[in-house]
Structure 1
């Protein structure tokens, strides 16, 4: 998440406010966080353009559906940012921003309802460890699966398959237990497939299939769960279970 000044006047106003604040010894990012975090400076936070980048690419401009939720944006601005910082945004994608909206940046606008801000380390630590799997084995397995999901090509959270995967990555710990158990059987994660479910009729449901191939026998076993992606908030339809090709 990045805060930008959409207009010169907003940038100058921020500079004036900063000049009156105690910022000695602070980096630019720390000074930005300190100034915008003060309640009396919320008017500046509402004027700023908030940009979400994915894999280094400017992808969305964020707007709160409710003005009160500006605090969620402020919470995403870390005093000391790290490459492992993660922001999960839940909202509705709107039109492309006009050039004057954010200093010439023309990307889709997202009206958000929720923002979850955390770092990779905190997420991995929060995943419940299965009783039968050693912690030294579970942590690397969880890290690898999480990285595989977020680094999938063109995963900007706009397609149904990516929305389902992103939901599972942060809301369904069983996917990590499944991967860890497969690695423990000396299998490799060879594919993650997402396809429409036969259960889809009125609602849009997808099947997320995890494929693990034995390193000794080259036999592939598959596990899957179903996720409903009809509306803004995805949810689990069926729990993880073995998958058999039709």
Structure 2
């Protein structure tokens, strides 16, 4: 399976998918479930940390995260670094770059204990934003997949999970950022993602590619998008899972309209559910006439999902 196909599968077949009628929703148990982040004891999927941190999903200290950034592995202490060096000495390293060796050592099944010893940091726009912990031991494989043997500036990691308290200084060599217990990580290349988005009819690659990239960059550059607020979670969800926003942007560009605004508002339909409207504004380059379109999304639980497809929006 090539990179474009993998990116498209992630865009259309993952939890919270926009076009899937039977969207997987978070189970009711999440409000009472407790998860512990504790030092590695040899059997779980958590890192070797200092003190134990209790994280209760229903408490006020936890919120949902839908973040887009880059996953990096760090050594929490000198002991872990020396142990990794010993494992590297047993590997075939001739002719490989340091990054290729790092990836090869972590990928070996017998070295999974090293993966659990490392600190896993999500950086967003170059800033260290979260420390990652899997809620399930199988999440270890997702962390390894996020480490590329040949990384590029266009690599993307999408992290979905629960945001907990600030990490204690002994957890990752003094780094004190919020902990995220993740349920899913998607790792792919931005160019492959854009190429995998279905193009509208009568639209060429030369038209679609730059328009899709501009929309993606516009949302990624919005201030302080750490994926922890409802506004940022829904924007990140749409840019990763809802191809219609790209098609609409290309259509408006072809009509000589510019993308002039992206706004998130609480929906009038919000009552027992947390529903938001995302409004896209396009302004004609010659007449300054503005057209608005919106999409409605439910962000009540961990996985956002589509409520209403993109439609014209009228100011009230």
Q: TM-score, normalised by structure 1?
A: 0.99
Question: Offset at 1:26?
Answer: 1.5
Q: Separation in 2 of the partners of 1:123 and 1:151?
A: 18
Choose from 235, 238, 241 the match for 2:305.
235
- Tell me the residue number matched to 2:211: 141
Question: Offset at 1:213?
Answer: 0.2
Question: Offset at 1:8?
Answer: 1.1
SS at match of 1:67: coil
Residues 1:195 and 2:265 are matched in the alignment = yes
- Tell me the residue number matched to 1:37: 107
Residues 1:218 and 2:288 are matched in the alignment = yes
Question: Offset at 1:67?
Answer: 1.0
Structural RMSD (CA): 0.7
SS at match of 1:207: strand
Question: Offset at 1:98?
Answer: 0.2
Residues 1:88 and 2:88 are matched in the alignment = no
SS at match of 1:92: strand
Structure 1: gaps of 5 or more residues = none
Question: Offset at 1:136?
Answer: 1.7
Question: Offset at 1:132?
Answer: 3.1
Q: Tell me how many residue pairs correspond in the alignment.
A: 246
Structure 2: gaps of 5 or more residues = 1-70
Q: TM-score, normalised by structure 2?
A: 0.77
Q: Separation in 2 of the partners of 1:217 and 1:68?
A: 55
Question: Offset at 1:135?
Answer: 2.4
Bigger relative contact order, structure 1 or 2 (CA pairs below 8 A, ≥6 apart): 2
Residues 1:170 and 2:263 are matched in the alignment = no
For residues 29-82 of structure 1, the C-alpha deviation after alignment (integer angstroms, 9 at most, x for no partner) is 111100000000000001100000000000001000001210000000001111
- Tell me the residue number matched to 1:58: 128
Question: Offset at 1:24?
Answer: 1.5
Question: Offset at 1:133?
Answer: 2.2
- Tell me the residue number matched to 2:47: none
- Tell me the residue number matched to 2:137: 67
Residues 1:128 and 2:214 are matched in the alignment = no
- Tell me the residue number matched to 1:77: 147
SS at match of 1:31: helix
Q: Separation in 2 of the partners of 1:165 and 1:93?
A: 18
